[in-house]
Structure formats: C-alpha cells, structure tokens
C-alpha cells in the first residue's frame, strides 16, 4: 500500500516478493542479492503437485488489505468506462497495481473513481469526473484526471470502489501528502496517502491497492458482481461508431436518438452516447 519507506521494501536484508513482481511487470531492473532469493524452484514444485502456495515471508511488509472508508454522499452508479476524466485543472495521473493477500497482481479488477472538480464541486446531474476501468492482465491501472478542489469540512481526496470478480466491493478514498487539512479531517487516514510528485505543470501519483483476495481470481465471465456500468444496447443502429474521432459539434444517431458531441474524443466501446453525457448531449 502506498506510500512506504523505501527501507520497507527490504526486510531482513531481502527484497519483497511484491517488489520483484512489480519489477517484472514493468521490465525495470532490480538488484538481486546473492542468497536472498533462493529456492524459487520449490514453489514451482509445489504448484506442479497441485498444492496451494504459501505466501513468501518477505511479502509480510505491511501489505494488509486496503482499508475501507465512507463513499460519501456523491457516489453515482452507471459511470462511463474510461481511463481519462476530462476537465480543466491541474493535470494528474494516478497509476499502480492491485494485489491480493498473496502478493499476486489481480487482473480484471473493477476500479470506479469519482471526485470533485477544481472548484470542489461534484457533478450530480451528469458524469463529469466519474468513470470506471478494469486492471489489465498484469493487475495494473492508470487514471488521467485533474487535482480535485477543496470543499468545506474535507481535505483533498479522490473516491474509489474496487472489486475483484465475484468478490466484495471495497469503498475507500485516496489522499494527497502535505495537505494542511489532513490534520483536521476526521475521515482522513495516512495509510491511504498516495505518493505524489510534480511533473512539469502537472502531478503524478502512485498507489497500490491490496484486496482481501488470496490469489489471482479467474477472468470474469459475466462481469463484476456489482457493476457500475450498463451494457450497450444490443444492435442499437445509428451512425455512431467505435474507433471514430469526433469533434465538438458533430452529431450522431444512436438507438433512435440524436446526440451532439460536446467534447472532442475518439469513441470506444463503453463510451456510447447514452452512457457518457460528459461527451454527448441528447438533442432529439
């Protein structure tokens, strides 16, 4: 769970299994100390015998499940599937991995994000600064958004729901380090701090979620148990096409209705006009 002291990644002079996994996933070099990662073949032998694997001792580096927190009064179901929450403000990217208790990355985990705009306001009539995505085969995710604004009574934060396929939903919040209100916000928890750095005019943040799941769950066959999205209407007809680039002002038809593009974008499955009011306005 981000953040952590760099020394926490090397317990008892060793390297955590989670660090090794992350390095392998991103192709980054990591120093392997002779004698510190030994008998790797034993795990393969155990797995080949059909027996369950026990967590590597070095995995015990504070990776308790990510703690739950209140969803707040501003959650809305049926958010659009997208990795970018378009809007004006200080650019922010959040990236990381989702792990289970065995330190294995979890694919196909649903992450539903929502936040305030730069003025501290939530869009409760549409879906601005709301969207969901799924972790990739490596358990990785990336969100492109803006730094949320402040509003009375709370420190700066981003809401998220996380759910592995057919597992319970975790509702929690992510926080920014160095915020004056962190010390007065009664909901704030330092264990949910992101690691944040400045990059040009924007910010880059990282956070790894750890779900109360023992191993990598299978690929979902019917989607998450509680899905925040609605499936596109089968065979709606019309002129809208996934993969096409639309400019503001363009009009399309979908499911018998006419929509006007309100923000330029490249269409993709999950961004059909009826479910993405931040991109399309129904006009007829």
Q: Residue 168 is encoded by which pair of tokens?
A: 């319970």
Cβ contacts of 197 within 8 Å, gap of 6 or more: 203, 204, 205
Instruction: For residue 17, give the nearest of 139, 105, 135 by alpha carbon.
Output: 105
The domain locations on the chain are 10-59, 91-210, 245-282
- CATH number for the 245-282 domain, one of 2.40.50.100, 3.20.20.70, 3.40.50.300, 2.10.10.20? 2.10.10.20
Report pLDDT for 245: 85
Tell me how far apart the alpha carbons of residues 243 and 176 are, in angstroms, rounded to a whole number: 35
- CATH number for the 91-210 domain, one of 3.40.50.300, 3.40.190.10, 1.20.1250.20, 2.60.130.10? 2.60.130.10
The DSSP-derived string for 89-109 is SSEEEEEEEEE-TTS-B-TT-
**Residues of the chain falling short of pLDDT 70:** 1-64, 67, 70-73, 215-236, 263-265, 268-271, 275-279
Compute how many other C-beta atoms are within 10 angstroms of the C-beta atom of residue 80.
21
Report pLDDT for 77: 86
Between strands 170-175 and 157-163, the pairing is: antiparallel
Tell me how far apart the alpha carbons of residues 94 and 197 are, in angstroms, rounded to a whole number: 11
Report pLDDT for 203: 97
Report pLDDT for 19: 54
């Amino acid at each position: 769970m981000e953040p952590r002291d760099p020394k926490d990644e090397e317990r008892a002079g060793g390297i955590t299994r989670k660090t090794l996994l992350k390095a392998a996933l991103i192709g980054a070099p990591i120093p392997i100390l002779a004698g510190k990662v030994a008998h790797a073949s034993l795990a393969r032998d155990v797995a080949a015998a059909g027996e369950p694997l026990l967590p590597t001792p070095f995995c015990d580096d504070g990776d308790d499940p990510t703690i739950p927190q209140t969803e707040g009064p501003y959650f809305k179901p049926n958010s659009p599937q997208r990795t970018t929450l378009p809007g004006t403000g200080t650019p922010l990217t959040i990236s990381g991995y989702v792990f289970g208790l065995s330190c294995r990355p979890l694919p196909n985990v649903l992450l539903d994000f929502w936040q305030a705009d730069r003025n501290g306001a939530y869009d409760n009539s549409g879906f601005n600064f709301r969207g969901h995505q799924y972790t990739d085969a490596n358990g990785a995710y990336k969100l492109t958004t803006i730094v949320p604004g402040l509003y009375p009574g709370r420190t700066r934060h981003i809401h998220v729901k996380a759910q592995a396929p057919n597992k319970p939903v975790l509702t929690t919040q992510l926080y920014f380090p160095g915020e004056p209100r962190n010390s007065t916000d009664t909901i704030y928890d330092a264990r949910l701090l992101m690691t944040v750095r400045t990059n040009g005019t924007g910010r880059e943040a990282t956070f790894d979620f750890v779900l109360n799941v023992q191993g990598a769950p299978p690929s979902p066959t019917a989607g998450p148990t509680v899905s925040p999205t609605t499936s596109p209407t089968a065979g709606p007809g019309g002129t809208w096409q996934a993969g096409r680039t639309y400019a503001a002002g363009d009009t399309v038809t979908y499911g018998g209705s006419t929509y006007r593009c309100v923000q330029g974008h490249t269409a993709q499955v999950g961004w059909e006009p009826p479910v993405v009011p931040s991109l399309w306005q129904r006009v007829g």
